[in-house]
A and B are shown apart, each in its own frame.
Chain A
Amino acid sequence: MINMIPKAQNKAEQVFHEIVKDHADRIYNLALMKCNQVTLAEDICQVTFIRVYKGLHNFRDESQLGTWIYRIALNVCHTMIKKESRISLNTVPLNDRADLEPIEEHGDVQEIFMRDVQKDEIRRAISALPPLQSDAITLYYLKEFQYSEVADIMNIPLNTVKSHIRRAKVNLRQLLKEVYDET
């Protein structure tokens, strides 16, 4: 039976591992930005990569790989967030983050806590944006994409992407005024 497993599968596994190494962090952060829930972000990440692995065998245009992966990630985000109905601003994500390992072991506890609160505020603000604005700003923020690539992923015109990002920033300025003042 083992002999029947094609070489293509081993190759697909190698490619898949490279994709995980290259994109897992960004997909996780994309999901976290969208839902502001660590466990849900992990689930979104897993479902996204399962779909990527299943679809990898039929994927031909390698130049579009990144776009394809993030399009899947966005679709999964939308579906799972809607399903879980966890996008509410009333959620308390800090309780959900007990499994996170500390980034700096020697850091000041209060400083780390404040930074976590700030991050939480930022993500809450992003998840409070209209879906298209939040998608656009999150993808753009991930620093992997140009406006045109964001447009490709979201399947909307370039100028619309620019407009969504501009509006998202204006909204974020208002929503994050307190955090902004603290920095």
Chain B
Amino acid sequence: MRPENSHKRDVIDTLLEKSWESPPTHLEKQLMAIPTEISLVPSHSLDRFSFILNAILILWGAGLVMFFWTPLAQMIASISQNMLGYSGISPQILSHPIVGVLTIICLLAGWVWMDIESHPRATQFRVTK
């Protein structure tokens, strides 16, 4: 807390103090209601049922990718070939400068996002709504 007499008061201080506005009465009620609007439930490890469902989903997804891999790979390869000059499934793509720049931008953006507001690295609670 700043002591009241820590700085010389001048006309600007007086004017700024005059601009203090009491918030509307409904605002505090709305703010107080936030916890009831947002319910937080503790995160818990996957139960057996969810684990089986997730496993089926992953296997199904993997199966789809494998089944459609040839046309998908051809599509990726031709798009990147046209845009970057390398086939998208070739190892050279990793050394392309645009891919490098995109990776660095993603890393930086992720780092900034994590840093803003001291975003927690591990969540204890999961927001359901």
Chain A residues with a Cβ under 8 A of chain B: 4-6, 8-9, 12-13, 16-17, 20-21, 24-25, 28-29, 32-33, 38, 42, 45-46, 49-51, 53-55, 57-59, 68, 71-72, 75, 99-101, 103, 115, 118-119, 122-123, 126, 137, 141, 143-146, 149, 169, 172-173, 176, 179-180, 183
B24 within 8 A of A: yes
Q: Which residue numbers of B lie inside 8 Å of A, CB to CB?
A: 1-2, 4, 6, 10-25, 27-28, 30-32, 34-35, 38-42, 116-120, 122-125, 127
Q: How far is the CA of A75 from the CA of B42 in the complex (A)?
A: 27
Q: Sample 21 A-B pairs with CB under 8 A, ordered by A number.
A: A5-B41, A6-B42, A8-B42, A12-B35, A16-B34, A20-B28, A20-B34, A25-B22, A28-B23, A33-B19, A38-B24, A42-B27, A55-B120, A58-B123, A100-B24, A101-B25, A141-B17, A143-B2, A172-B12, A176-B12, A183-B11
CB neighbours of A149 from chain B (8 A): 2
User: Min CB distance, A13 to chain B, in Å?
Assistant: 4
Complex Cα distance, B18 from A180, in Å, reads 12
